[in-house]
Structure 1
Amino acid sequence: MAQNRTAALRYREKKRLDKEKKMNEIAGLTRRNQELKSKASFTLCRRSATKSPF
């Protein structure tokens, strides 16, 4: 029975670490996505400003 308990603990710990890793990856990708959206918006604004007749 102790072996089963130990295996269950290892399994739960592995799942917890996998979930934590995925959450960190999501956070990083979300941050990167926001940076790219901001850069794209800035580029579009600059581009339209250079085409302006004023």
Structure 2
Amino acid sequence: MHGRLVVFGGGIPLSFEGRIVGAVGASGSTVANDIEVSKAAVRAFETYPKARIGSSGSLL
């Protein structure tokens, strides 16, 4: 990523079988709203077997 990293409220990494496979991100409202939208997407992702969020496997 050429040394570029952007951290913002509403960004949550997604992992599957121990590997980072992507991320969920929401932006455009308040940080609190962006986080809630991302958490809803994470809950949908978690319905897949062996899916985990970040390295701990739990919601933020």
Query: How does the TM-score come out when normalised to structure 1?
Result: 0.35
RCO greater where, 1 or 2, for CA within 8 Å and sep 6 or more? 2
**Which structure is higher in strand share?**
2
